[in-house]
């Protein structure tokens, strides 16, 4: 294909891809009367009123705090348990290793809807409902298998000789793992953290079921507030746009690693 | 890679095992429990054996939802794979700001919370205030009301799904393309190979690994889809876009029919498990068959 037509095709796709998001952005900068009165491709009377409402009302902005809290907890828990496990899978054979690996993966593929009611009952029995930790733990159901899978790929790319040399030099396994091995695969750890963040951030079924008010994620706050105030489209759009921002920032920071992470084909 | 046999490695996987078992096995046992009992209230319940399973397997609503689910997943693959590969082919090969910008924009839909995806499309498709809805309804003059017309509801859900997930296929295919050494292209140029020949005999075979993964991921995730179509159509009009997960949640939480829902969950889970196993085997073969 000619370079010019390639660029044209790419630009056309990117424009179509951005159009729904642009439309949301456009609406978020207009007030509700303006939105309902006419269709406009750009805000004629741009206003930041909708954003001001969200950023000054605790019932709105605490939703962001809540989402960040459980997403970060989930990412940390997932990495802490997945790193040693991925090392075991990449370096050792042990009783039932293949079955265990497959069983882990089936949980990545299990329908969340199947677990919804029993997970709710489990966490309410433990009195964890409406705490960050409940959502963070529930999300490990699909993030831990994914993290083990991605990390195992990165670790298998590191030659065994490095481990053996270190052990001969008198390193203990924990010391070797923390001071030599993890720095070696830091790109892998970064990619894994990115995917944990991503899947925990976008998931809502568990997050909404396991929270009532105190730990409610922003995406759930959005729908609730809107239904109570009788559909303020501008406010809804502003809330939606603000949920996109963290994702955009995260992608920007890892943009050069995305291709590498995907190249391992382990997502 | 050669691996040492050492059962002490179990200590390293124990935390993962405990955590996932806590989240998966206890709830699964609860579901099994429900599926063989008739629960009247907190204290009155009776064992009914396989009654719920028999009822669910004969249920035409379940069979219809399963049919819709397979149709939906098939459509998703048919649209997203060719489109994703096409996009990967036109994405810039060299580094630089254009590549970074393209990566960020393409990856953006993947990091939007799923119910916000639904909300974006609810807004976008409204005939009064949405751009696309307005375009179809007013400019093209086709009466557009997806919440009441099943065919339009289907088109809307598939369009949203393609918009949301084609970027994943594109990024996977792009990663596969980037892994092809320049020497291959130079050799093809010396041989005077056409653009099609380069694609068919160099790029496509080299992308086999990542494309297999793309197929597996897109199939599995579209098979489990819940949030986006639920926000967009609520499974309607009628039952016309009620996929398996939506139907399951309707049964379990909407109608609180935990016996049927329990049996349905187990059937659903077994289907997913069987499909995962087939896919896992295929994946293993790709992993070993290809010199990576």
Split into its structural domains, chain B has a count of: 1
**Closest to A208 in 3D by CA, of A75, A140, A112:** A112
A101: left (phi over 0), alpha (psi -120 to 50) or beta: alpha
Q: Is residue B14 part of a domain?
A: no
Task: Please compute the mean of the pLDDT values over residues A226-238 and round it to a whole number.
Answer: 72
Q: Quick check: B281 pLDDT over 50?
A: yes
* Residues of B (270-289) whose Cβ lies below 8 Å from A: 272-273, 276-277, 280
Would you kindly state where each structural domain of chain A is located, as residue ranges? 1-47, 51-263
Which of A41-50, A205-214, B218-227 shows the highest mean pLDDT? B218-227
Q: Is residue B226 part of a domain?
A: yes
pLDDT tens per residue, range A241-250: 988 888 888 8
pLDDT number for residue B76: 94
**What global pTM score does this model have?**
0.86
User: Distance between alpha carbon A108 and the CA centroid of its chain, in Å?
Assistant: 14
The interface predicted TM-score (ipTM) is 0.84
Place of tokens 């960050």: A132
Answer whether B227's CB lies under 8 Å from B118's CB: yes
pLDDT number for residue A260: 63
Question: B interface mutation test: which of A17, A114, A202 has the most B CBs within 10 A?
Answer: A114
Q: What's the Rg (C-alpha) of chain A?
A: 23
Q: How confident is the model at residue A263 (pLDDT cuts 50, 70, 90)?
A: low
* Residues of B (44-103) whose Cβ lies below 8 Å from A: 86-87, 89-92, 100, 102-103
**Closest to B92 in 3D by CA, of B83, B103, B82:** B103
Q: Is residue B37 part of a domain?
A: no
Chain A: closest CA distance from residue B150 (Å): 22
Residues of A in contact with B220 (CB under 8 A): 109
Residues of A in contact with B272 (CB under 8 A): 106, 109-111
Domain that holds residue B280: 60-289
Q: Is residue B284 part of a domain?
A: yes
pLDDT number for residue A262: 60
Place of tokens 């609520």: B234
Average pLDDT, chain A: 84
Nearest CA in chain A to B16: A81
Q: Quick check: B164 pLDDT over 90?
A: yes
Element (H, E) at A93: strand A92-93
Task: Please compute the mean of the pLDDT values over residues B153-170 and round it to a whole number.
Answer: 93
CATH number at residue B108: 1.10.3720.10
Contact of B174 with chain A, judged by CB distance below 8 Å, is answered with: yes
Q: How confident is the model at residue A267 (pLDDT cuts 50, 70, 90)?
A: very low
Contact of A249 with chain B, judged by CB distance below 8 Å, is answered with: no
**Closest to B174 in 3D by CA, of A116, A113, A178, A255:** A255
Q: Is residue B48 part of a domain?
A: no
Task: Please compute the mean of the pLDDT values over residues B54-65 and round it to a whole number.
Answer: 84
**Does the domain formed by A51-263 have CATH 3.40.1360.10?**
no
pLDDT number for residue A265: 47
């Amino acid at each position: 294909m000619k370079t010019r037509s390639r660029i044209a095709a790419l630009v056309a796709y990117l424009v179509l891809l951005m159009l729904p998001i642009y439309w949301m952005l456009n609406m978020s900068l207009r007030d509700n009367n303006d939105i309902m009165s006419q269709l406009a491709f750009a805000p004629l009377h741009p206003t930041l009123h909708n954003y001001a409402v969200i950023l000054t009302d605790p019932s709105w902005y605490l939703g962001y705090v809540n989402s960040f809290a459980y997403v970060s907890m989930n990412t940390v828990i997932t990495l802490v348990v997945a790193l040693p496990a991925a090392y075991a899978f990449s370096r050792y054979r042990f009783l039932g290793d293949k079955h265990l690996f497959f069983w882990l993966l089936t949980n990545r593929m299990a329908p969340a809807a199947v677990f919804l009611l029993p997970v709710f009952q489990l966490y309410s029995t433990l009195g964890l409902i409406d705490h960050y930790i409940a959502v963070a733990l529930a999300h490990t159901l699909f993030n831990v298998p994914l993290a083990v899978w991605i990390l195992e790929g990165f670790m298998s790319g590191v030659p065994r000789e490095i481990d053996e040399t270190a052990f001969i030099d008198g390193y203990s396994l924990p010391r070797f793992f923390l001071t030599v091995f993890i720095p070696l695969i830091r790109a892998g750890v970064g990619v894994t953290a990115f995917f944990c963040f991503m899947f925990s951030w976008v998931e809502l079924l568990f997050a909404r079921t396991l929270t009532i008010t105190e730990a409610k994620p922003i995406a759930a706050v959005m729908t609730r507030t809107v239904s109570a105030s009788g559909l303020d489209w501008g406010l809804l759009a502003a809330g939606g746009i603000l949920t996109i921002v963290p994702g955009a920032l995260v992608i920007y920071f890892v943009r050069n690693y995305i291709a590498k992470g995907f190249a391992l084909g382990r997502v | 890679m050669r691996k040492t046999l050492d059962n002490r490695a179990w200590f390293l996987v124990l935390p993962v095992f405990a955590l996932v078992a806590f989240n998966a096995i206890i709830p699964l046992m609860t579901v099994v429990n429900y599926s063989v009992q008739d629960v009247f209230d907190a204290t009155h319940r009776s064992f009914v054996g396989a009654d719920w399973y028999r009822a669910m397997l004969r249920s035409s609503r379940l069979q219809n939802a399963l049919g819709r689910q397979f149709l939906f997943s098939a459509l998703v693959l048919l649209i997203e794979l060719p489109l994703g590969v096409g996009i990967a082919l036109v994405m810039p090969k060299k580094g630089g700001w254009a590549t970074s910008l393209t990566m960020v924009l393409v990856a953006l839909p993947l990091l939007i919370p799923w119910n916000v995806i639904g909300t974006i499309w609810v807004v976008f498709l409204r005939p009064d205030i949405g751009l696309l809805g307005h375009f179809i309804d007013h400019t093209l003059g086709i009466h557009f009301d997806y919440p009441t017309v099943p065919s339009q509801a289907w088109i809307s859900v598939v369009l949203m799904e393609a918009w949301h997930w084609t970027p994943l296929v594109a990024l996977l295919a792009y990663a596969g393309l980037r892994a092809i050494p320049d020497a291959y292209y130079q050799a093809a140029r010396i041989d005077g190979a056409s653009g099609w020949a380069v694609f068919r005999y160099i790029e496509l075979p080299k992308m086999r690994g990542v494309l297999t993964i793309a197929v597996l991921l897109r199939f599995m995730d579209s098979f489990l889809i819940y949030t986006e179509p639920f926000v967009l159509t609520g499974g309607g009009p009628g039952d016309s876009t009620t996929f398996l997960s939506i139907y399951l949640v309707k049964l379990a939480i909407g109608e609180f029919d935990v016996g049927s829902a329990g049996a349905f969950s187990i059937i659903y889970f077994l289907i997913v498990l069987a499909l995962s196993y087939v896919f896992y085997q295929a994946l293993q073969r790709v992993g070993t068959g290809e010199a990576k």
